[in-house]
Chain A
Amino acid sequence: MTTEPAAPSFFARAVGRALGGSLLPVAMVIVALLALWYGAAVLLNAPFARSMAADPAALGLSELIDATLSQERPVLPAPHQVLWELKKSVFDLPVTSKRSLVLHGWVTLSSTLVGFGLGALLGLLLAIGIVHVKSLEKSLMFWIVSSQTVPILAVAPIVIVVLGAIGVTGLVPKAIISAYLCFFPVTIGMVKGLTSPDRLHVDLMRTWDATPAQTFWRLRAPASVPFLFTSLEVAIAASLVGAIVGELPTGAQAGLGARLLAGSYYGQTIQIWAALFAAAALAASMVGLVGLIERLVLAAMGGRR
């Protein structure tokens, strides 16, 4: 009689395996979020919809819902409105249009990438210095950590104004703000990564009388690669935030940050949300790209660790 209870559990496991993967949980979260979002949109936009109705008392439920999900400047735009705006500003408009998110995305992306490159390089150099020179750790670490406690929103306008005064405008100031945010995770991650080799491996290099440079290139650097990629994933997302923040004080000329600012000036909530989603998609794809490179590099370095 032991087989009877076993049968459904086997079935359940089989179904679990079939649906399991990661697809089902992800899909369920998306459905739940969408439901929540639509609910919130109806609730938040209802007061305005009522105030616009000729006779609020006569407004039926389905009419009310319709009215809340199709406003031009809703308090909270419905998902399909954002999606529609995204489609329009990414695919329908020509890239040269001032409302094209491809144009603005590219502006933000270029300063993000330059800032990321600068920041990662700076972070790397700081980490190498700290690992090799004991006094640098004591003298630099305090300032490195302090630098991140200063709110970037306060620093960004200063950088823009100061650099603007000496004639440096456009991409460079934004890239610098972006680098300011993204060097930190790289430094912290790489200090950890470069000191990650076992004592055994360090001793081994010593038995061969390896020079510090040899120990660095043959032991510390390769051992730090997983740490490097983890910190680069954090850093590239941070540098996008830096680039967007850097676009806010420029008077909203171009970039996703400018779209966010312009949207909030004119109450264009749908535009804000579309820009927000474009930024999120950009960040996700950049992090994904770094992750992909990580997988390829680690596979080339012997795979499973």
Chain B
Amino acid sequence: MLGGSNVASAGGTEASDATSPHRVVIDAKELDLVFDTADGRVHALANVDLTVREGEFVSFIGPSGCGKTTLLRVIADLEQATGGSITVGGVSPADARAARLYGYVFQAAALLPWRNVLDNVTLPLEIFGVSKEERLERAARNLDLVNLTGFEKKFPWQLSGGMQQRASIARALAYDPQLLLMDEPFGALDEIVRDKLNVQLLKLWAETAKTVIFVTHSIPEAVFLSTKIVVMSPRPGRIIDVIECDLPRDRTLEIRESSRFLEIAHRVREGLRAGHSYDD
């Protein structure tokens, strides 16, 4: 059911040549993860197969406990699978992490409160031993990308939630990783801010041609952003449907009223319902 990711991108301008074989960035086969907790064994991921190709925008959607965040954390080598195989960028997740192949954006902005915006964005570069000049140059470029130029000297508490999250995206992009892993990055924000950031994220994705994996539990957000939607279901955490989202890449918020958008959203909703995800 997976594999082919021939994203039909009618309006696409770059990195979207549907006929060229895009490199596989993530390849997971029969992935299993069992946690041994105090309350017994939790089957967080069961038999997960997933292929993500370069330049795709893939959303994981599902209710709490469906393993979407766990899967993201396995890709990031923050958790280790207990069965099956997975490669990230052609190597093991551990090697991918060591090679700084990905940038991770958490639900909370997780900026260090004692560092201003600039110093937060340059923190990963500092850790990688990048020279000061280059740090500043890259930070300036990425802060511009998220429209935070002029806020370099502000401390996190002086920014709104949306601005904090944009700063954390700039931080994840600062070292130009080919893969961006986002764990409900806009989940804590109000809908108006979220819409705005979604539009900005699409623009950013088009400009940088990154591969994005995006965890969410919002159907409209998933449909609006993605080229591929992975529908997941809990107990055990598994993939129940993979939906190609073939809306034109050049999307505006108005697309959410189009019939194609509603059709895809409907299919996602059906998938979630089929997984009996909300029968608790």
Contact = CB atoms under 8 A, between A and B. Distances in A.
A302 B127 contact: no
Given A207-B76, A207-B78, A209-B97, A305 B106 contact: no
A264 to B, nearest CB: 49
Interface stretch (B109-117, B143-151, B239-247): B109-117
A198 B111 CA distance: 11
A253 B263 CA distance: 92
Interface string B100-122: 10111010101011111000000
Nearest to A200: B110
Contacts of B123: 218
A138 interface: no
A106 B77 CA distance: 58
B98 interface: yes
Contact of A207 (B104, B113, B126): B104
A14 interface: no
Contacts, number: 56
Interface in B82-109: 97-98, 100, 102-104, 106, 108
Contacts of B78: 203, 206-207
- In this complex, which of B76, B77, B113 has the most chain A Cβ atoms within 10 angstroms of its Cβ? B113
A204 B114 contact: no
Contacts of A301: 113-114
Interface string A200-212: 1101111111100
Given A203-B78, A207-B104, A302-B157, A218 B126 contact: yes
A205 B126 CA distance: 12
Given A208-B124, A209-B97, A201 B76 contact: no
Interface in A7-36: none
A209 B100 contact: yes
A151 interface: no
Contacts of A207: 76, 78, 97, 102-104
A167 interface: no
**Chain B contact residues (Cβ within 8 angstroms of A): what range?**
20 to 34
- In this complex, which of B77, B98, B114, B124 has the most chain A Cβ atoms within 10 angstroms of its Cβ? B114
A205 B116 CA distance: 17
B155 interface: yes
- In this complex, which of A206, A302, A303 has the most chain B Cβ atoms within 10 angstroms of its Cβ? A302
A263 interface: no
A302 to B, nearest CB: 4
A198 B102 CA distance: 21
Contacts of B104: 203-204, 207
Contacts of A302: 113-116, 155-157
A206 B100 CA distance: 10
A-B interface, 4 closest residue pairs, ranked by CB to CB distance from nearest: A301-B114, A302-B155, A207-B104, A200-B110
Interface of A: 198, 200-201, 203-210, 214, 218-219, 222-223, 225, 301-305
9 contacts: A198-B110, A200-B110, A203-B78, A207-B103, A208-B124, A208-B127, A218-B112, A303-B157, A304-B157
Given A200-B106, A302-B157, 9 more contacts: A200-B110, A201-B110, A203-B78, A204-B104, A207-B102, A210-B127, A214-B127, A218-B126, A302-B155
